[in-house]
Amino acid sequence: MIAISAFPINWVLVQDLALGPAPAATRHLNRLEAEGITAVLSLCSTEEKAAPPDLEERFYCRRLVLQDHRSQGTLSIGLLEQALAALAELRSHGPVFVHCVAAIERSPLVCMAWLMREYGISRQNALDYLLQVHPGTSPSAAHLMLLTQLKTAAPMELKIA
């Protein structure tokens, strides 16, 4: 019988960028360390999901709260750009785990934006790829439209394995 983890981690770029739900227990942090992750980008508020008390002692961390479908207001391109800047800074410390509460809207959106920005792939290709590596991906229509405002790099080869 194969055990299915209650704390899934999906690699977007192997040993570079991963995403999943918010870590809520020490065993989740242990799993992140076992995967080789050294930094965590949190996209939800502590009111939405409290972090384990030792998260910031064990990982390089940044928290930037992005709006999702339940939030008042809409996500701006400026806030998405801030998330990408935070991700770039964290990547200097090693593999990064990006999370929101359930890894459905916000964390996949930031990963899609990263792929578009860094590798010049189209919004549709970024979405298709995220759906393959993280089947729970479901950014809102407004979030997908926001990606049309993103300045992206010239297309280049995406090395995923």
Q: What is the pLDDT of residues 40-68, one digit of tens each?
A: 999 999 999 999 999 999 999 999 999 88
Rounded Cα gap, residues 29 and 31, in angstroms: 5
Whether the predicted pLDDT of 2 surpasses 60: no
- Tell me the pLDDT band of 39, cut-offs 50, 70 and 90: very high
- Provide the b/e sequence for 36-58 (b: ≥16 CB within 10 Å): ebbbbbbbbeeebbebbeebeeb
Helix (H) or strand (E) holding 41: strand 39-42
Place of tokens 């970024």: 126
Q: What is the pLDDT of residues 76-101, one digit of tens each?
A: 999 999 999 999 999 999 999 999 99
Q: What percent of the chain has pLDDT over 90?
A: 83
